[in-house]
């Protein structure tokens, strides 16, 4: 399964148009790890997503902490939202966590560590992929410019205990990276509004990541 992973579009419709033109028909699944808008509403999110949805490839998405209050509802209406639930595609399970762990900035969608843990405990099955806007703590994916690690401790603990094959995340723009915690591969594609995305080769039979490429438009 060839998976394209993007995150942190922040309302940049030009970036989604360019990505759609580049990828047309050449992948099996698109994962969107949140912040479709920059505090924008569902109408704005719809316009941003339109070029990607027109490709006819399955899309799974979660909202980010900077998406407007009505954006999760739009993702549900479009049939692509997986926040707080599990869906299965081609024999692979995907569990979604939208928003972020608590930030100092009081953004639109923030979850306590207990809420994040609860979503995972309720939905995760062995071998599932996790799509989370917030990255796990103490990884390359959650390190800000100052060097601090600001990701979710609950997600980190869950990864250590359950070893999901793949976690796709975002939120921390400067933390574009591929990392590992045990057998778990963690991918922060980098923000699409800056032209970044990732291509992941995922074997749906073995439930293993075969390769990751960090790319730029």
141: left (phi over 0), alpha (psi -120 to 50) or beta: alpha
Residues with pLDDT less than 50, the chain: none
**18-58 residue pLDDT tens:** 999 999 878 999 999 999 999 999 999 999 999 999 999 99
Contact 116, 134 (CB under 8 A): yes
Spatial separation of the C-alpha atoms in residues 111 and 109, rounded to whole Å: 7
**Cα–chain center distance at 9:** 11
> Residue 26: its pLDDT value, please?
84
**160-175 residue pLDDT tens:** 999 999 999 999 999 9
Q: From residue 173, give the alpha-carbon distance in Å to each of 21, 73, 126.
A: 23, 25, 29
Spatial separation of the C-alpha atoms in residues 185 and 179, rounded to whole Å: 6
pTM over 0.85: yes
DSSP H helical ranges for the chain: 13-23, 42-53, 71-77, 113-123, 153-162
> Residue 25: its pLDDT value, please?
73
Tell me the CA end-to-end span of the chain in Å, nearest whole number: 21
> Residue 171: its pLDDT value, please?
98
DSSP-derived letter for residue 135 is P
């Amino acid at each position: 399964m060839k998976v394209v992973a993007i995150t942190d579009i922040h309302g940049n419709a030009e970036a989604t148009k360019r990505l759609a033109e580049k990828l047309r028909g050449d992948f099996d699944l698109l994962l969107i790890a949140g912040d479709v808008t920059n505090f924008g509403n569902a109408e704005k999110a719809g316009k941003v997503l339109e070029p990607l949805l027109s490709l006819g490839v399955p899309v799974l998405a979660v909202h980010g902490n900077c998406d407007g209050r009505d954006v999760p509802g739009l993702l549900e209406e479009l049939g692509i939202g997986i926040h707080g639930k599990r869906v299965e595609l081609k024999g692979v399970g995907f569990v979604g966590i939208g928003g972020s762990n608590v930030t100092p900035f009081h953004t639109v969608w923030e979850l306590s560590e207990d809420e994040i843990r609860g979503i995972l405990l309720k939905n995760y099955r062995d071998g599932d992929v996790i799509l989370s806007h917030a990255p796990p703590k103490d990884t390359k994916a959650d390190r800000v410019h100052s060097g601090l690690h600001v990701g979710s401790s609950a997600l980190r603990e869950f990864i250590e205990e359950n070893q999901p094959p793949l976690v796709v995340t975002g939120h921390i723009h400067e933390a574009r990276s591929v990392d590992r915690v045990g057998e778990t591969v963690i991918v922060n594609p980098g923000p699409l509004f800056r032209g970044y995305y990732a291509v992941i080769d995922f074997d749906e039979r073995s439930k293993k990541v075969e390769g990751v490429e960090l790319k730029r438009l």
